[in-house]
Amino acid sequence: MASKIETSPEMVQNVYKKTAERLAVVRNRLNRPLTLAEKILFGHLDDPQNQELVRGESFLLLRPDRVAMQDATAQMALLQFMLAGKDEAAVPSTVHCDHLIQAYKGKDVDMTVSNTANKEVFDFLATTSSRYNIGFWKPGAGIIHQVILENYAFPGGLMIGTDSHTPNAGGLGMCAVGVGGSDASDVMVGLPWEVKNPKLIGVHLKGKLTGWASAKDVILKLCGMLTVKGGTDKIVEYFGEGTTSISCTGKATITNMGAELGATCSVFPYDDRMAAYLKSTGRDELSKVADGHKELLSADADVVANPGKYFDEVYEIDLSVLEPHLVGPHSPDIARPISALKKEAAEKGYTIKISSALIGSCTNSSYEDIGRAAFVAKQAMDIGVKMNQPFLVSPGSTQIQKTIERDGQMTTFNEVGATVLANACGPCIGQWKRDDIKTGEKNTIVTSFNRNFRARNDANPETLAFIGSPEIVMALGLAGRLDFNPATDELEGPKGKVKLQAPVAPELPAKGFIPDTEGYQKPAGAQAQVAVSPTSERLQLLSPFTKWDGKDFVDNLVLAKAKGKCTTDHISPGGKWLNYRGHLDNISNNMLLGADNAFTGEIGKGKNLLTGETAEFAQVARAYQKANKGWVIIGDENYGEGSSREHAAMSPRFLGATAVVTKSFARIHETNLKKQGVLALTFVNPKDYDKIQEEDHVSLVDLKDLAPGKPVKMNIKHKDGSSESIELKHTYNAEQLKWFRAGSALNLIRGF
């Protein structure tokens, strides 16, 4: 069975064969050069002859090569898959246990605690994976994206994953897209995956990185240029001579954080650095197959020569003059070069003293990353400087951990003051238990992670989180100050001063990687028994959602009007709630706990219009549901940005939401709402958001005539007796409207 899960040379050869066949059809239709992203997408079309290919408008039906799931989102994805009644996953699929491991005392203690606390969830994931022929990576084996890069990613492939940083695999030339669990279960059932044909952003990389600048600084600068909304429904494709100067894992860092742009995914063309990584990770045969199909793995020549003709937007970054950057606080698009931070910090009153420095995560835990950070640490220790505040290290995988233990970088980290955490997400996703800072206490941390939303890392809204490269985090952590610039300032210690040299380190280990021989469980097949207790507080078998009754939504109440940034972290917080990712009823109690109430300014609470009392939004929703009153959520710009967690869509559906109406949606969340049968609508006139009042009754009418491109009418009745009507728009196509009418996409699959 394992041969169906592995990315074998035979599998890749077959992917390239089908890609070439489909592209021959598409080239005949389009009669123009193709970008790399187009080659991969169109090379995976379910019907290359007849599908519409209008960029930014058409919906593509695609056949992914792989599915990847992490433990927090895999629970719901597998529970949905089980409803379909299939015997095994239709495409190679894997589950990775990396989210449910708390970062606190260090690897050994934290793993013991996690394995005990999460035993029933891990047992469910292990037994379900075994039963349905899905590869299973045990707790502590590594972060999903690092393990995928090391074992499964391949140039020219198409993968979907139930985590928003799935695009990490773009560093190995793959179009890898973060999706909700419903999309994953659909593909595992054997259905094509549907996505809006993305627009294309071309990023021309010139020159070569020098000094303290790293691959991380490429994406931090781009986040500042494009903002967290700049990549929505778009693919970022890198091209130009600068791409070959960046290591494969450096490319993965860049594509990983493309998620912070809201991008569908990001991708680099295949080159010798990717081939070297494949060989170093024991996949020499894959590199040979890729070498024989280079025409499929890069953009056509005229695209590179005349990018303005083929991309919807084109940007240029000169690597040779790029400075190290830091982004934050509270958003990954607040970017500036480190040379500008000292002045800004003084002007804005940022806390200068650093309370913790954190290195690792799926974004920056490669051999090269660790080596560059260790290079900096050694210089500091030469003058007697060590970390004066907590220094936490999250290796990306057991393979990385064992290799840096052998080669000495881990010894350097331990000597400089590191607490080495489990090979898991930990603080990056909010699984960080802090004893040094109280909630509400202002402090500053520096990390090499990817996200820094308010309260994201440690649940403290007053923590200012700044993101940089591992070497910059190391330097700032050693200095203990946010306003330290290692390129110009001297580091002082008991044994003197030193102006730190710019870091250098090999991108790959000279002795090769030490593979993880214990972290993977092979599936057993149909004889495996799935473990779910009917009395579990953490796992709950699903029942289908109710089918739409064909009637308009009349006199619905406004449960919540969210003001400003409302990410999936705000809609369905993590932290302690990760314990309930497999129990829809229990996790729904966290719905909108982080949302800013536009009517009152209160966080996570709203007015129950039936009683006049104020309560948490989930409890108000349950009261409305009990009274058989439909309700809606009103959202601001880019509603639902951030993590791919489908619970942010399933919980509203479970608690009785009929629609979510916003100024605009983040891509994954909009799709998740559609999949679960919640109407996802946007204001035709964004200013109509201001018309919605706390005690309004709203009606969505003529829904029986709902059709692609046809506006939806909302009638609003205000408390004072006045009324008005506004227009809403949507992006549903004919197939997605079937999801709505059936009550959910899964209902349609089951013929419910």
SS3 sequence, 512-564? CCCCCCCCEECCCCCCCCCCCCCCCCCECCCCCCCCCCCCCEEEEEEEEEECC
Q: Report the alpha-carbon distance of residue 183 to residue 77 in Å, rounded.
A: 8
What is the per-residue pLDDT for 245?
A: 96
- C-alpha torsion sign, points 37, 40, 45, 51: positive
> Where does residue 726 rank: exposed (0-12), middle (13-18), buried (19+ CB within 10 A)?
buried
pTM of the entire structure?
Answer: 0.87
AA identity, residue 423: N
pLDDT tens profile 47-105? 999 999 999 999 899 999 999 999 989 999 999 999 887 899 999 999 999 999 999 99
Residues facing 562 on adjacent strands: 597
Q: What element of type H or E holds 115?
A: helix 107-117
Query: Token pair 């290591």 is at which residue?
Result: 247
Q: How many helices (H) and strands (E) does the chain have?
A: 24, 30
Q: Report the alpha-carbon distance of residue 706 to residue 509 in Å, rounded.
A: 58
Q: Cβ neighbours of residue 259 under 8 Å, at least 6 residues apart?
A: 164, 165, 167, 178, 450
- C-alpha torsion sign, points 444, 449, 454, 457: negative
- C-alpha torsion sign, points 316, 319, 320, 321: positive
Query: Token pair 């295949």 is at which residue?
Result: 270
Per the annotation, the verdict on 336 as an active-site residue is no
Active-site annotation holder among 65, 71, 110, 163? 163
Q: How, if at all, do strands 335-337 and 418-420 pair?
A: unpaired
Alpha helices in 306-393 (DSSP H): 341-348, 367-382
Alpha helices in 635-730 (DSSP H): 647-654, 667-676
Q: What element of type H or E holds 205?
A: strand 199-206
Asked if 449 and 363 count as a contact pair (C-beta separation under 8 A), the reply is yes
Residues facing 467 on adjacent strands: 327, 447
How many Cβ atoms from other residues are within 10 Å of residue 274's Cβ?
27
Active-site annotation holder among 293, 372, 645, 647? 645
Q: Cβ neighbours of residue 209 under 8 Å, at least 6 residues apart?
A: 215, 217, 245, 246, 319, 320, 322
Question: For the chain, how many residues are written?
Answer: 752
pLDDT tens profile 256-311? 999 999 999 999 999 999 999 999 999 999 999 999 999 999 999 999 999 999 99
Q: Cβ neighbours of residue 283 under 8 Å, at least 6 residues apart?
A: 7, 154
* Residue 366 DSSP one-character state: S
What is the per-residue pLDDT for 1?
A: 38
Q: Report the alpha-carbon distance of residue 509 to residue 488 in Å, rounded.
A: 30
Asked if 381 and 159 count as a contact pair (C-beta separation under 8 A), the reply is no
Low-confidence ranges of the chain (pLDDT < 50): 1-3
Q: How, if at all, do strands 553-561 and 697-701 pair?
A: antiparallel
How many Cβ atoms from other residues are within 10 Å of residue 63's Cβ?
20
Q: Report the alpha-carbon distance of residue 142 to residue 451 in Å, rounded.
A: 19
How many Cβ atoms from other residues are within 10 Å of residue 318's Cβ?
12
Asked if 247 and 253 count as a contact pair (C-beta separation under 8 A), the reply is no
Per the annotation, the verdict on 98 as an active-site residue is yes
**Rama region for 693: left / alpha / beta (φ>0; ψ in -120 to 50; rest):** beta
pLDDT tens profile 411-459? 999 999 999 999 999 999 989 999 999 999 999 999 999 999 999 999 9
What is the per-residue pLDDT for 752?
A: 63
Residue spans of beta strands (DSSP E) within 340-494: 354-360, 391-394, 418-420, 443-447, 463-467, 491-493
Q: Phi/psi at 486 (nearest 5 deg)?
A: -65, -20
* Mean pLDDT, the chain, whole residue set: 96
Coil, helix or strand for 9? helix
Q: Phi/psi at 356 (nearest 5 deg)?
A: -155, 145
Per the annotation, the verdict on 99 as an active-site residue is yes
Asked if 319 and 325 count as a contact pair (C-beta separation under 8 A), the reply is no
Q: How, if at all, do strands 723-729 and 712-717 pair?
A: antiparallel
Per the annotation, the verdict on 130 as an active-site residue is no
In this structure, what token pair is assigned to residue 470?
């591992």
Q: Cβ neighbours of residue 564 under 8 Å, at least 6 residues apart?
A: 596, 636
Residues facing 45 on adjacent strands: 62
Q: Report the alpha-carbon distance of residue 18 to residue 31 in Å, rounded.
A: 19
Active-site annotation holder among 22, 66, 96, 99? 99
CA-CA-CA-CA dihedral for 367, 318, 34, 172, to nearest 10: 0
What is the per-residue pLDDT for 333?
A: 94
Per the annotation, the verdict on 451 as an active-site residue is yes
Q: Cβ neighbours of residue 476 under 8 Å, at least 6 residues apart?
A: 354, 357, 446, 468, 482, 484, 486
AA identity, residue 503: P
Q: Report the alpha-carbon distance of residue 650 to residue 746 in Å, rounded.
A: 12
Nearest Cα residue to 43 out of 69, 66, 13, 64: 64
Active-site annotation holder among 643, 644, 651, 744? 643
Omega prior to 329 cis, within 30 of 0: yes
How many Cβ atoms from other residues are within 10 Å of residue 224's Cβ?
17
In this structure, what token pair is assigned to residue 417?
């003051």
Query: Token pair 């990613």 is at which residue?
Result: 153
Active-site annotation holder among 8, 44, 96, 98? 98
Q: Report the alpha-carbon distance of residue 688 to residue 453 in Å, rounded.
A: 27
Active-site annotation holder among 325, 451, 667, 730? 451
